[in-house]
Amino acid sequence: MLKYKNLVIIGTSHIAETSLKEVESVFRKQNPDIVAVELDHNRLYALLHNKKPNYSPALIPQLGLKGYLFALIGSFLQQKLGSIVGIKPGSDMLRAVELARDNKKKIALIDRDVRVTLTRLSKAIRWREKLNFFVDLISAPFSKKMTINLKEVPEKQFIKKALGLLKKRYPGLYKVLVTERNKIMALKLKILMKNYPEQKILCVVGAGHEEDLLGLAKIKS
């Protein structure tokens, strides 16, 4: 958990039961006036109505082939991992929204529209990154085994290492998924802090985003 002025940020795992408990615990302790979540309107609607992402091939012209395939594979992996631990992907964000609604708190959606992100991915991923993907896919079965407890949020050291590897081998992917989105989310948090200086803000984002968001939120405009 990170704090700055009237802002508290927690990093969660979208399929970890411990993240649900942390969201509930921090919400009770902080009693925020505003709950900001790493969602856009489309993803929030899907979570509230228990709808799985529907990535029809008809979306390819809009998202681009690479963005469409990334969404398709990412959704499959999240659903698969979620079924292993018995937690639906996005349950951490949904719990934060439910707590805000039940306690009549303001809700702020701070992430970029997922369709814009996927379209940006299609344009940003270069041929070298595609080559790296196939190399990593082939070499994965022969790599050293790494034990990860899916029911808990990964350690910060592991997250930093994973993000560093992502940035090195997939710079386009990292730029769109991490750098750009962090800037957008931090800007929205700064606006909230400026417009509601006397109100407490609780921000719930995926683990790995929180430190950058806090750093960017501290930068004066």
* Contacts by residues 213-220 (CB-CB < 8 Å, ≥ 24 positions apart): 213/9, 213/182, 213/185, 213/186, 213/189, 214/2, 214/4, 214/7, 214/9, 216/182, 216/183, 216/186, 216/187, 216/190, 217/4, 217/7, 217/186, 217/189, 217/190, 217/193, 218/4
Query: How many domains would you assign to the chain?
Result: 1
Q: Among 86, 90, 101, 102, which residue's Cα sits nearest to residue 44? A: 90
Listed residue (131, 209, 219) closest to 174, CA to CA: 209
User: Which ranges of the chain have pLDDT less than 50?
Assistant: 80-82, 84-85, 140-143, 145-146
Residue 88 dihedral angles phi and psi, to the nearest 5°: -75, 135
Contacts of residue 88, Cβ cutoff 8 Å, sequence gap at least 6: 15, 82, 94
Domain that holds residue 155: 2-218
pLDDT of residue 162: 79
Distance CA 170, CA 183 (A): 19
Q: Quick check: 83 and 73 in contact, CB under 8 A?
A: no
Burial per residue of 125-134, b for 16 or more beta-carbon CB atoms within 10 angstroms, e otherwise: beeebeebee
- pTM of the entire structure? 0.80
C-alpha R_g of the chain? 18
Q: How far apart are CA 149 and CA 158, in angstroms?
A: 12
**Which helix (DSSP H) or strand (DSSP E) does residue 108 occupy?**
strand 106-109
First CA to last CA distance, the chain: 24
Percent helix / strand / coil, the chain, rounded to 5: 60, 10, 30
Q: Which pLDDT score, from 0 to 100, does residue 136 have?
A: 60
Q: What pLDDT sits at residue 17? A: 83
Beta bridge partners of 112: none
Residue 2: which H helix or E strand, with range? strand 2-4
